[in-house]
Amino acid sequence: MLSKRLVICLDVRGGKLAKSIRFVDTKDIGDPVAKARQYYEEGVDELVFYDITASRENRDIMIDFVEKAASQIFIPFSVGGGIRSVEDATKLRNAGAEKVNVNTAAVLRKELISEIADAIGSQSTILSMDIRRVPPTEKIPSGYEIVVNGGITPMGIDALWWAKEGERLGAGELVVNSIDADGTNNGYELKLTRMLAEAVGIPVIASGGAGKPEHLYDVLTEGRADAALVASIVHYGEYTCRQLKEYLHGRGIKMRMSY
């Protein structure tokens, strides 16, 4: 049986760690590759590098960054942020990213998902979804709406429909990011995660809201997620990868414990 995965997300700006992240180990500020290497050695199962500038000018810097990361990290990692074309995806994949995350550009033009899946394979094509809770309407029957621009712009698209559509178009995995839970440290949006995980046949990575190890346990059991994504709780030094994995393993979740 496959193990559940602990995934860590690092925000990258111009090849540097984003300033908004306050690391305890100040020596590592500014070098996401060194931080990623540390997490790799501590047993993280997968990493996500998120390019928060996502500008076209920044593309080459990001490719260069991915090359560096790939020479230091020998587990799968994905790259997201500003991927607008098959060319972007292919370049990142060739530079060493195992998978790429598409988000806004796919919402604006959904064929992008199938184009990328055809070029680099479904298993390497992740659809990231930013989702917020809304009162159910005829247009948004599930009560969960797709938003873009960091959660600012509502798109009038039902998240449940979009998850299934993404799978149909060839996405091999979903990142379910709850804008409501994000940054609260109060736990993942279990209802949303479970609803989407039960609706699709592809793995779901839950994102947004992790504050305690129990939250990861909850989303991997009750939330039916295949992987739990964390950021601040490890970046701020509250928990190490090992602590999180040992906690989950101790509660009977199958995790990769030898690394």
Residues near other proteins (CB under 8 A) are: 1-3, 5, 40, 43, 45, 70-71, 74-76, 93-94, 96, 98, 121-123, 172, 201-203, 226, 256-259
Burial of 6 per CB tally in 10 Å (0-12, 13-18, 19+): buried
Give me the catalytic one of 11, 88, 182, 226: 11
* Nearer to other proteins among residue 121 and residue 183 (C-beta): 121
* Nearer to other proteins among residue 151 and residue 247 (C-beta): 247
Q: What are the structure tokens assigned to 1, written together?
A: 């049986």
Provide, rounded to whole angstroms, the least separation between the CB of residue 6 and other proteins. 10
Annotated catalytic residue 130: yes
Provide, rounded to whole angstroms, the least separation between the CB of residue 187 and other proteins. 24
DSSP string, 178-219: ETTTTTT-S---HHHHHHHHHH-SS-EEEES---SHHHHHHH
* Nearer to other proteins among residue 3 and residue 185 (C-beta): 3
Provide, rounded to whole angstroms, the least separation between the CB of residue 159 and other proteins. 20
Cα 132 from chain centroid (whole Å)? 16
Q: Which amino acid is at 10?
A: L
* Nearer to other proteins among residue 102 and residue 148 (C-beta): 102
Provide, rounded to whole angstroms, the least separation between the CB of residue 126 and other proteins. 11
Taking the CB of residue 239, how many other CB atoms lie within 10 A of it?
18
Residue the block writes with tokens 């990213």: 97
Q: Are 231 and 49 in contact (CB under 8 A)?
A: no
CA-CA-CA-CA torsion sign (21, 150, 165, 134): positive
* Nearer to other proteins among residue 120 and residue 140 (C-beta): 120
Taking alpha carbons only, the member of 249, 178, 258, 179 closest to residue 220 is 249
Provide, rounded to whole angstroms, the least separation between the CB of residue 41 and other proteins. 8
Give me the catalytic one of 45, 51, 130, 158: 130
Quick check: helix, strand or coil at residue 23?
Answer: coil
The residues assigned a catalytic role are 11, 130
